[in-house]
Amino acid sequence: MSKKTRPKKSAKDRIRRGEQVTSERLQQISFAYAPPLIISSAVSNKVFDKLASGAKTVEQVSKETGASTRGLRAIMDALVGLELLKKDRQSRYSLTPESEAFLISNKPGSLAGFFGSILPQLNSRWLRLSEVVRDGRPVAAVNQETEGTEFFSQLVENIIPMSYPSAQKLGDHLKVAKAKGEVRVLDLAAGSGIWGIALAQKSPRMRVTAIDWGGMIPTTKRITEKFGVRDHFDFVEGDLLQADFGNGYDIATLGHILHSEGEQRSRQLLKKTFGALKPGGTIAIGEWLVNDRRTEPTHALMFGVQMLVNTEQGDTFSFNEIKNWLEKTGFKKVRKLEAPGPSPLILATKP
């Protein structure tokens, strides 16, 4: 490889190699807030939606959206740099496969709603992080029903792309499509219901019980209807530690729930779930896993700060921490299942 074409080493690489320390990496980090805010502004001003019909100039997008040409040019050029738009020699902008798949507002699995409405809420809370660190109290306790219902009613549909592929992989791994009899599924803190939805799409033999706050259940019903599997669902309203789960389930899903519950409630919930499963039943847990020393991965460590800002006791945990909780509860064969998402799924079996 010639010197001219050799990739430039990043600031982090140079630090790891023991080379001279510079401020370059910190300068890069100082602008880390910019990409999500640029995407948010593009979503809010319908940039991706207007480009869905084909390439356009800034002036054309301005005419269709009412946004200023100066403002649009700045964010659209930045989106080219972020590889979320392309720009041709005639200064016409067009979508990339990534933005076409996930940033057009009316497409299934779109993240446009998250960037357009949820992200600004989260960002405003993070601006108070120094205060939260000082007193240890969250800006908003979204894991509490009074504060959380409104937030999660907006959030859950917008984060379906985070869980849907993992839930599909779970269904394939458990071979639910080959089931010869009814398979009972317990979808805990169901939210959008996407974990149960993905399993129900695999087989008409799925019977899903979705548990969530009373204020969330209408959202779950609406989304299960949207996916065409409403008839496979039963709904139970209530707090996870107080609601009557029933028993005899083959599968229980906890899709990104433990981090907002904190250790004490999580361990209680695992014990209650163990009692609801039949012998041989499987629990599947989706989480943002950190390593045992809490030194990586970075995205999961930062998600721990998200829990600091938004919950009373929430945190991120390691695979071995959750494995220990499961084994002390009575579960066996605790293992990881590689799946699309922030981290592998954690599976365990009730003996």
- In this structure, are 332 and 301 located in the same domain? yes
pLDDT of res. 187: 98
CA atoms within 13 A on the CB side of 140: 17
Last residue of a domain, one of 127, 157, 186: 127
Last residue of a domain, one of 127, 154, 180: 127
- In this structure, are 227 and 298 located in the same domain? yes
For residue 282, list its beta bridge partners: 251, 349
- In this structure, are 210 and 339 located in the same domain? yes
CATH code (residue 209): 3.40.50.150
Mean pLDDT of the chain: 93
- In this structure, are 246 and 284 located in the same domain? yes
Closest CA to 141 of 156, 133, 126, 151: 151
- In this structure, are 119 and 259 located in the same domain? no
pLDDT at residue 214 is higher than 90: yes
With respect to residue 137, please indicate whether it lies within any of the assigned structural domains: no
The pLDDT tens digits of the residues spanning 190-209 come to 999 999 999 999 999 999 99
**pLDDT band at residue 5 under the 50/70/90 scheme:** very low
- In this structure, are 70 and 187 located in the same domain? no
Domain of 159 in residue numbering reads as 145-349
Question: Please, are residues 193 and 187 in contact by the beta-carbon 8 Å criterion?
Answer: yes
pLDDT at residue 18 is higher than 80: no
pLDDT of res. 7: 53
Name the least confident of 1-10, 213-222, 256-265. Answer: 1-10
Domain total for the chain?
Answer: 2
pLDDT of res. 3: 45
SS (H, E, C) the chain: CCCCCCCCCCHHHHHHCCCCCCCHHHHHHHCCCHHHHHHHHHHHCCHHHHHCCCCECHHHHHHHHCCCHHHHHHHHHHHHHCCCEEECCCCCEEECHHHHHHCCCCCCCCCHHHHHHHHHHHHHHHCCHHHHHHHCCCCCCCCCHHHHHHHHHHHHHHCHHHHHHHHHHHHHHCCHHHCCCCEEEEEECCCCCHHHHHHHHHCCCEEEEEEECCCCHHHHHHHHHHCCCHHHEEEEECCCCCCCCCCCEEEEEEECCHHHHHHHHHHHHHHHHHHHEEEEEEEEEECCCECCCCCCCHHHHHHHHHHHHHCCCCCCCEHHHHHHHHHHHCCEEEEEECCCCCCCEEEEECC
- In this structure, are 49 and 151 located in the same domain? no
- In this structure, are 151 and 99 located in the same domain? no
With respect to residue 254, please indicate whether it lies within any of the assigned structural domains: yes
- In this structure, are 299 and 219 located in the same domain? yes
With respect to residue 302, please indicate whether it lies within any of the assigned structural domains: yes
Residues 202-228 have a mean pLDDT of 96
Threshold 0.85, pTM exceeds: yes
- In this structure, are 113 and 151 located in the same domain? no
- In this structure, are 189 and 278 located in the same domain? yes
- In this structure, are 162 and 275 located in the same domain? yes
pLDDT at residue 14 is higher than 80: no
With respect to residue 88, please indicate whether it lies within any of the assigned structural domains: yes
